[in-house]
A and B are shown apart, each in its own frame.
Chain A
Amino acid sequence: MSEIAFFGAVEIGLVYALVALGVFLSFRVLDFPDLTVDGSFPLGAAVAATLIVAGSDPWLASALAIVAGACAGLVTATLNVRFRILHLLASILTMIALFSINLRVMGRPNVAIIMQDTMLTPFYGLGLPDHLLRPLFVLVVVAVVVALLAWFLTSEFGLAMRATGVNARMARAQGINTNLHIYVGMALSNGLVALAGALFAQTNGFADVTSGIGTIVVGLAAVIVGETVLPLRALAWALIACVIGSILYRLAVQLALTADVIGLQASDLNLVTAALVAVALILPQLRLRAGKAAARGGK
């Protein structure tokens, strides 16, 4: 794995860390299995890229991408809370609708911004090579998001949101408006995922309508890998675990890409990636069992 490939994996891992944080909010905090992200990721990319091509400021474009993603989350939340559609189904409906909406936003399946100014353009001339600058930029964004989320989720409003996810009935009995917290949480979650899409478009030069496929799988894998390697209960650590899990997932993909050295084919990529992630999840269990066995042996 070359330096460029390594930092490329870290960079894409950091971009998808925002997806992992969004998925953490919906799946873990709100206990709301949300598949909207497969649509809100390309939505963020589409809105940002289209606005940038139209001459808008890239920071403003990215902010509006977050707003668009938040709206998508609100649609899912409305279908679920207001119209009592099962959460999974509500999110699937929004996800498939977003495919058409993304095509409408872009007017075509693919919008290129390779030659346009992005949020990163002002930093390219500062002497740092591109392959280090991009992950550093995304790292700063992710760090800010993690800090804001940690603050939010330990505020009174955030604690009420966590209570909504843990036990909605109990939360309501304590006077918490659980519906409001589902709306806000889903908007926040999909806003983050859309921000990831906007960053992906700007660091890779294009928005493509197919780029959302499998986003939920990657996000969930990152959350679970993170929980496994960093099984700490403190909230800030749980957020950092999402980021680390996402980077580890991308390193696994990068490792799988070099698997042709041991005689595997290009088409084995997804299998090797799955196997590497499975190993990352199984190893701690083995360690635990080995520890227990050692404890028994000591008696």
Chain B
Amino acid sequence: MRISRIVLAAALGGALATPALADDRMKTVAITAIVEHPALDATRDGVIAALKEAGFTPGETLTVNYQSAQGNPATAAQIARKFVGERPNVIVPISTPSAQAVVAATRDVPVVFTAVTDPVGAQLVRSMEQPGGNVTGLSDMAPVGDHVALITEILPNARRIGVVYNPGEPNSVTMVKVLKDEATARGLTVVEATATKSADVQAAGRSLVGKADAVYVPLDNTVVSALEALIQVGAQADLPIFSADTDSVERGTAASMGFDYFELGKQTGAVVARVLKGEKPADIPVRVASGTNLVVNPAAAESMGFAIPDSVLGRATKVVGK
């Protein structure tokens, strides 16, 4: 029993050692991630960088606490309780399990989550538009809306967007659903072609010739692994191929937009700054991180029978082949 008393005494000592609440000018942001990971670490650094830009300087007007659960959801739950108990101005959980642990632990401390692909499915918020409660944040889903806008900017006459995907991949199914919403909002129609294995991708692409004005490739492991087959169809039939990921542009799709996780963190940090300045999380819609990296491949576009306009070329962050 003596040891338990010693540990308890140490625990109480820890309680006393916790610094008293800082004064009003000093804001506190508590950041937690499920694990150390290059993408998640970059997100955290982006949050801090954006807060600095917004005038909250760490050490002067801002205290940043950071904890990693080192891959363990039980520890994530404990970190959530620790942060809620310290009552910071905002808690920023990075990744789905960390966000769920924090949201389950508090109903009043403001929460701005990030790097969560499906915030509604993860039950962090009831809806993207009206999060309600004390929670808002950013999703790291691919910016499908930005992609559709990019396609219509490059091909103003495109009316029918084809999509090749594997219906067995949940991510792809979600993306195609979002694509349909985004396309409908712009008066476009979506033509689907499915491929359940990489050997079917070429046939699926051919089935779209004459039915679609452009083809969109979502983040689909099956299709992306057989991308060259699809690009070949595009070159033969003058069918423009666009991809959701920027890496595929180097392999021969015409263009794409994306973000890196530092950028995601910066966009999150901007939302955190708004909350620190007094806005209520309930009033800030949850949104998908916007694409900032524009990658284009003019040679690929030419082989598919169209040219990328100078306006797009001019703001590209990367031009393949140059």
Residues of A within 8 A of B (CB): 1-9, 11-12, 16, 108, 110, 112-116, 130-131, 200, 203-206, 208, 210-211, 213-214, 218, 228-230, 244, 248, 250-255, 257-258, 260-261, 266-267, 269-270, 276, 280, 283-284, 287
Contacts and interface: CB of A to CB of B under 8 A. Distances in A.
Given A1-B18, A210-B97, A253 B78 contact: yes
A255 B14 contact: yes
Is chain B's binding surface mostly helix, strand, loop or mixed? helix
Interface range on chain B: under 10, 10 to 19, 20 to 34, or 35 or more?
35 or more
B70 A270 contact: yes
B264 to A, nearest CB: 19
Contacts of A261: 17-19
Contacts of B10: 255
Contacts of B97: 110, 206, 208, 210-211
Contacts, number: 157
Given A9-B78, A229-B4, A252-B7, A214 B72 contact: yes
A239 to B, nearest CB: 16
B92 interface: no
Interface in B43-67: 65-67
B79 interface: yes
Nearest to A114: B123
Nearest to B96: A110
Contact of A283 (B6, B65, B77, B124): B6
A158 B72 CA distance: 34
Contacts of B101: 204-206
B11 A204 contact: no
B2 interface: yes
B86 A210 contact: no
Interface string B19-62: 10000000000000000100000000000000000000000000
Lowest 10 CB-CB distances: which A-B pairs, in order?
A8-B81, A2-B85, A4-B85, A205-B104, A112-B123, A5-B85, A206-B100, A114-B123, A211-B73, A5-B82
21 contacts: A2-B82, A5-B84, A5-B86, A8-B80, A8-B85, A9-B81, A12-B74, A12-B78, A113-B123, A200-B74, A206-B73, A206-B96, A208-B96, A211-B73, A218-B74, A229-B3, A250-B78, A258-B82, A269-B70, A284-B3, A287-B2
A104 to B, nearest CB: 13
B77 A8 contact: yes
B188 to A, nearest CB: 30
B105 interface: yes
Nearest to B65: A260
B11 A257 contact: no
A241 to B, nearest CB: 10
A27 to B, nearest CB: 20
Contacts of B284: none
Contacts of A1: 11-12, 14-15, 18, 82, 85
Nearest to B35: A210
A258 to B, nearest CB: 5
B89 interface: no
Contact of A4 (B6, B66, B68, B84): B84
